[in-house]
Amino acid sequence: MPRNKYPEITEKRILDTATKLFLEKGWEETTIQNIVDELGDLTRGAFYHHFKSKEDIIDAVLNQLAVDNDPFKKAKNISGLNGLEKLRMAFLLSFENIGQLEAVKTIPTILNNPKLIAKQLQDCIHLGAPDILAFIEEGVLDGSISVQYPKQTSETFMLLTNIWLSPIIYSVDTEEYLLKAKHLQELFNGIGLPVIDDQILATLEKFIKIF
């Protein structure tokens, strides 16, 4: 294959093809060679120029799915909501996105990979928590939220909802999952962040039943 003058185009093609195969075949069953073969005009060497390992391409696909379906950006653009309502809306959108839920269903064990788990933890703190913090700070200003430690609350919220509440990382039945959700509801209500309401609990119940 001739050298591509636009490497970002090749990277996007790899990402799109990998996403398609991961969703069709499963994350564990799809190999790098499958991705190369599907592209047709790319060598393994060219693939490794953009992604060093299968973990790298999985991480890139997960990030792309998150960017394409960013619930914080969507909630921020809805007018007439206070800080708490924006955070609730972002939470609802993150669990109601059908495309993302279908992707999650295909990866029942992939996040047991220590490298991917470590990356998820880092992303929670460095990428997700700042978005939550912005809504919390807005809520503190408008009076809808009354937490004492906004930054620490945003990080705790992100870690607990994305790691501890994840049925992929911690597999539990529906009853136990809902008890965890209600525990989080009481926990965050107690520190002045009443973000988990009955609508969110109902959404979480629908979400866990997918699994």
- Beta-carbon contacts of 125 under 8 Å, excluding residues fewer than 6 positions away, are 155, 158, 159
**Lowest pLDDT segment from 11-15, 67-71, 146-150, 165-169:** 67-71
DSSP H or E stretch at residue 128 = none
Domains 7-52 and 69-209 in one fold: no
Mean pLDDT of 82-107: 77
Q: Which CATH architecture has domain 7-52?
A: Orthogonal Bundle (1.10)
**Lowest pLDDT segment from 45-59, 83-97, 108-122, 191-205:** 108-122
pTM of the complete model: 0.74
Share above pLDDT 90 across residues of the chain, in percent, rounded to a whole number: 45
Q: Six-digit token pair at 6?
A: 């636009």
Ranges of each domain in the chain: 7-52, 69-209
As a whole number of angstroms, the distance between CA 162 and CA 107 comes to: 15
As a whole number of angstroms, the distance between CA 102 and CA 172 comes to: 19
* DSSP code for 3: P
SS3 50: helix
**What is the structure's pLDDT at 1?**
43
Rg of the chain, C-alpha, whole Å: 19
Which residue is associated with the tokens 């994350």? 27
- Smallest CA-to-CA distance from 116 within 47, 163, 177, 69 is with 163
Could you report the per-residue pLDDT of 68-91, keeping only the tens digit for each? 678 888 899 899 999 999 999 999
Q: Do residues 155 and 129 lie in contact, with contact meaning Cβ atoms separated by under 8 Å?
A: yes
Question: For residue 195, which amino acid is it?
Answer: V
- Beta-carbon contacts of 78 under 8 Å, excluding residues fewer than 6 positions away, are 86, 89
Question: For residue 73, which amino acid is it?
Answer: K
CATH number of 69-209: 1.10.357
